[in-house]
Amino acid sequence: MAGDSLSPFSPAVRAWFESSFPEPTAAQAQAWGPISAGENTLLCAPTGSGKTLAAFLWAIDSLGARSVQDREQSGSASEPGSPSESGSPSESGAGVRVLYISPMRALAVDVEKNLQSPLRGVALAAQRLGLEFVSPTVGVRTGDTTATERRALVRTPPDILITTPESLYLMLTSAARESLVSVDCVILDEIHALAPTKRGAHLSLSLERLEYLRAARDQTPRKLQRIGLSATQRPLEAVAAFLGGFTPSDQVPIQRPVTIVDAGMRKELELSVVVPVPELDAGSGSAWPSMDAELLKLIEENHSTLLFVNARRMAERLASRLNDLAAEQGSHNPEALEGEGDGEELVKAHHGSLSRERRLVVEDELKRGQLKGLVATSSLELGIDMGAVDLVIQVASPGSVSAGLQRIGRAGHQVAVASRGRIFPKHRADLLEAAVVAQRMQEGLIEHTKVPVNPLDVLAQQIVASCALDEWQVTELFDLCRSAANYSTLSWELFENTLDLLAGRYPAEEFAELRPRVVWDRLAGTVRGRAGAQRLAVTSGGTIPDRGLFGVFLPEGTRVGELDEEMVYESRVGETFLLGATTWRIEEITFERVIVSPAPGQPGKMPFWHG
């Protein structure tokens, strides 16, 4: 089996894989055939089955061989001036070859780290075999990437770019798009998290814009291979249609072919619903004291425990309560290190309102098994490799079977290792839902994915972005929109009405205060962006709402996280609050940020966020 499935690969890749793993997983063995043949591929497999490596290994092999060929062809011709001096990736022949799109920044960073092992391993195997192999370069562009790093990525594009849907949209709406002309393969990870949302509709249009960009720049258009990865999705046919998109035609758009690889055998679960009191909501007071004690007991009994909650405020509150309880029982010394903002907490918090640096530190501590417990929101739900976690606790029902499987799947995140999980309901209604979700998780009965059809707000946004840099034939723009799976049934009437609105032709006087964003020349049949369209597109892009947050910084400028503007309005200088299970004292509040200093060991109020 291993020999057959590895046959498409070079000797160096085969040697590295055979020395690193006993054999390919079922997901890898089934996926490598269609992936190596260049087919659009949807891979459905459980958590910990090697999906990411299944998608990347062929790209690593192809890019390593191609880099050698490119270097041989360029020879001395490239010596007088380096590629970075040309300023344009397309002029120098450089550019991104593989585009990996993650729905989460944490997952993007995790994938970048995990790629280093196969890259180094294959290079060493090639060296031992006396073969040439140039390791592909890897870059990351997310909302955490600095302006300096973004400019560097444009000047010298990596072979593999790891990004998010929103960052891809921003690149396509700026000069950075030239670095994407050379993309041959797009990998969509955790596609089930995108397909049923407007965020997915937004991404589907971005992918079609990428298709059109490549076709416009390339004299001999190449097929763009799309690979989708997910552990939880049904029906696969609907997700495959979302992944592949459609080819426009005069009548009904034709779905692009996608090979479905269903290696979705159910992963073994050791799952139970825990009620720590005799009867919930029985008038005997809050269940939290009993629940906290039981949670602390489980944390101390296991090597590393990941606790999921459904809100950032709950993450902070629960982490604080567990640390306080541990200190009261004398099971842990919570004393902070002198001069540091971080104490020696038994449990820490992780959510999207913490700074990138603090999130990475906490994630590293958890992966290395240095952290006994971590309370997280959905910020750690998808795909993150948490090898040291041996138990996942879900506080309150996860809300859906797919979310439950994703979260519990963080435990035992290896092949053939059971995932251990506990669900703690908070009240009677929650208990009923948790029991149903747990039973369906055991039976693998995942909710059906429904893809949004024709969300016009997303369509309007992408039309403005598309026209910001280019003038379009209206019919060609209509074809682009109908190529996206979410808009394959878009009628000319709906498209025309959306263009009317963007061009300033409003259906009622109530819209008169809106400013036109595009110029639609009906005689010439063209549409282009008005002045300021690009600025509007890049500052108002995406479907994630602006939450009105204040950055939290140390006096020297280090970012700690962010707070809701309402909480900042209600706070005063000298007050203390918790963020990341650590106490901070407010030193100054400006119009855009909160300056803080560490206040280890001091009590602090709980932060809150809206949305």
- Provide the phi-psi class of 297: left if phi over 0, else alpha when psi is between -120 and 50, else beta: alpha
What pLDDT score was predicted for residue 141? 92
Q: Is the pLDDT of residue 213 over 70?
A: yes
| Average of per-residue pLDDT across 215-244 | 85
CB 35 within 8 A of CB 58: yes
Q: Is the pLDDT of residue 307 over 70?
A: yes
What pLDDT score was predicted for residue 288? 83
Q: Is the pLDDT of residue 562 over 90?
A: no
**How many residues are given for the chain?**
611
Both 419 and 352 in one domain: the answer is: yes
Residue 492 placed within a domain: yes
Both 57 and 14 in one domain: the answer is: yes
Q: What angle, 0 to 180 degrees and rounded to 10, lies between the N-to-C axes of helices 492-503 and 456-469? A: 60
SS3 of 216-235: the string is: HHCCCCCCCEEEEEECCCCC
* Number of domains into which the chain is organized: 3
Both 245 and 275 in one domain: the answer is: no
Q: Is the pLDDT of residue 531 over 60?
A: yes
Residue 154 placed within a domain: yes
Both 376 and 246 in one domain: the answer is: no
Both 234 and 350 in one domain: the answer is: no
Residue-number span of the structural domain to which 214 is assigned: 2-71+89-262
Query: Is residue 200 exposed (0-12), middle (13-18) or buried (19+ Cβ within 10 Å)?
Result: buried
What pLDDT score was predicted for residue 78? 36
- CB neighbours of 582 closer than 8 A, spacing ≥ 6? 341, 342, 343, 345, 598, 600
Sheet holding 269-273, edge to edge: 269-273, 419-424, 391-395, 305-308, 373-376, 347-350
Look at 326 and 601; give whichever has higher pLDDT.
Answer: 326
What pLDDT score was predicted for residue 278? 77
Both 222 and 302 in one domain: the answer is: no
pLDDT in tens, 425-475: 988 889 999 999 999 998 888 888 889 999 999 999 999 999 999 999 999
Q: How confident is the model at residue 341 (pLDDT cuts 50, 70, 90)?
A: very low
Average pLDDT over all residues of the chain: 85
The domain boundary, picked from 537, 552, 578, lies at 537
SS3 of 54-66: the string is: HHHHHHHHHHHHH
**SS3 of 254, please?**
strand
| Average of per-residue pLDDT across 388-402 | 90
Share of the chain above pLDDT 90, in %: 51
Cα–Cα distance between 534 and 539 in angstroms, integer?
9
Report phi then psi at 528, rounded to 5. -145, 160
Domain of 414, CATH number, reads: 3.40.50.300
Both 254 and 322 in one domain: the answer is: no
Give, in order, the Cα–Cα distances in Å from 106 to each of 137, 164, 337, 401. Answer: 20, 10, 27, 22
Q: Is the pLDDT of residue 503 over 70?
A: yes
Look at 242 and 334; give whichever has higher pLDDT.
Answer: 242
Both 9 and 130 in one domain: the answer is: yes
pTM above 0.85, yes or no: no
The domain boundary, picked from 512, 537, 562, lies at 537
Share of the chain above pLDDT 70, in %: 88
What pLDDT score was predicted for residue 69? 59
Residue 563 placed within a domain: no
The domain boundary, picked from 262, 284, 311, lies at 262
Both 225 and 366 in one domain: the answer is: no
Both 416 and 438 in one domain: the answer is: yes
Both 12 and 151 in one domain: the answer is: yes
CA 439 to chain centre: 28
| Average of per-residue pLDDT across 392-403 | 91
What pLDDT score was predicted for residue 335? 46
Cα–Cα distance between 342 and 298 in angstroms, integer?
23
Residue 17 placed within a domain: yes
Residue 510 placed within a domain: yes
Strand 373-376 with 269-273, pairing: unpaired
Q: Is the pLDDT of residue 487 over 90?
A: yes
Q: How confident is the model at residue 505 (pLDDT cuts 50, 70, 90)?
A: confident
**SS3 of 170, please?**
helix
CA contacts within 13 A on the Cβ side of 21: 21
pLDDT in tens, 55-76: 999 999 999 877 555 655 544 4
Q: Which of 99-113, 316-330, 575-589 has the lowest mean pLDDT?
A: 99-113
| Average of per-residue pLDDT across 513-539 | 92
Q: What angle, 0 to 180 degrees and rounded to 10, lies between the N-to-C axes of helices 165-172 and 198-217? A: 40
Both 248 and 292 in one domain: the answer is: no
Q: What is the largest CA-CA distance in the chain?
A: 82
CA 158 to chain centre: 19
Look at 591 and 430; give whichever has higher pLDDT.
Answer: 430
Residue 33 placed within a domain: yes
Residue 83 placed within a domain: no
Residue 603 placed within a domain: no
Find, among 306, 242, 266, the residue nearest to 484 by Cα: 242
Q: Is the pLDDT of residue 575 over 50?
A: yes
